[in-house]
Structure 1
Amino acid sequence: MNSRGILNVEETIRLFKSYGLKVDENSVNEWVRENNKKISTAYNRQVIEDDLYRYNDWCRVKGTHYEEGIDDKTKIARLLEEVQL
C-alpha cells in the first residue's frame, strides 16, 4: 500500500486473504469494473482501503434480490427462489 492508502487489485486480494476471506482476482476485478462505471471521471479508479468494506457488502448481496441494478422481475424471481429453499 502506498502512502495515499490506494490499493491495487493484487494488494486488495492479499489484504482480504490476510483476514481469512476467500476472494479471487475475477471477483475483485468485476467489483472494480462495476464501481468504475459508477464514477464520472476519465481515469480508472483504484481501490482504496474504505472500499474493502463495500466489496465485502457487494459479495454478500451479489446474486440475491438485494443486488443493485437488477430489474423488478429478477428481484421477484430471486425472492421466490429463496422462499422455496
Structure 2
Amino acid sequence: MKDYMTISETVDLLHNYELECDEKDVRQWIAKGEIEATEFEGNYHIYEPAVLSFLIDLSRVGTAYEKGIDDKTKIERLEEMVQELQKEIDRLRCEKLKLELQLGILPF
C-alpha cells in the first residue's frame, strides 16, 4: 500500500472537505508551495498531512492567524474579534435576563 496520494486522489480528498477544485488547482497550489509535494518520475507524490495543513491554512485566511500577515494586521484582526465577542456577550446577557424574567427568576 502506498503512503502518498496522486493529484487525482488529492482532489477527491479536498472534495471530501467541501473544497471545490480540480487537478489544475492542485497543481497550482503545489507550484506556489501551498501544498507540499515531491515529484517522482513526472508524477507528484502528495502526503495527506500536507493536504490537511493546506486546509488549516486556508481556513485561517482573513483571520488573525492567517499565514504571512504582519503584526499590525494581526493586531487589527484580533481587536475586531474582541469587539465582535463583546457584542455577542452583551447579546447573550440580554437574552439571559429576558429568560430569567420570563421564568420569574430574580437576577443576581
User: TM-score, normalised to structure 1's length?
Assistant: 0.59
User: TM-score, normalised to structure 2's length?
Assistant: 0.49
* Mapped pair 1:23 → 2:19: yes
Runs (4+) of structure 1 moved beyond 4 Å? 26-31
Relative to structure 1, is the Cα distance of residues 77 and 29 closer, same or farther in structure 2, using a 3 angstrom cutoff? farther
User: By how many angstroms is 1:35 displaced?
Assistant: 2.9
Relative to structure 1, is the Cα distance of residues 24 and 79 closer, same or farther in structure 2, using a 3 angstrom cutoff? same
1:26-74: CA deviation from partner (whole Å, max 9, x where unpaired): 87567532437x9xxxxxx763222122122112322211112111111
Q: Aligned Cα RMSD in Å? A: 3.1
**Aligned equivalents of 2:18 and 2:47: distance in 1?**
19
Relative to structure 1, is the Cα distance of residues 58 and 31 closer, same or farther in structure 2, using a 3 angstrom cutoff? farther
User: By how many angstroms is 1:14 displaced?
Assistant: 1.2
| Larger-Rg structure | 2
Q: Which has the higher contact order (CA 8 A, sep 6+)?
A: 1
2:73 alignment counterpart: 74
Unaligned runs of 5+ in 2: 37-43, 85-108
Percent of residue pairs identical: 32
Unaligned runs of 5+ in 1: 39-44
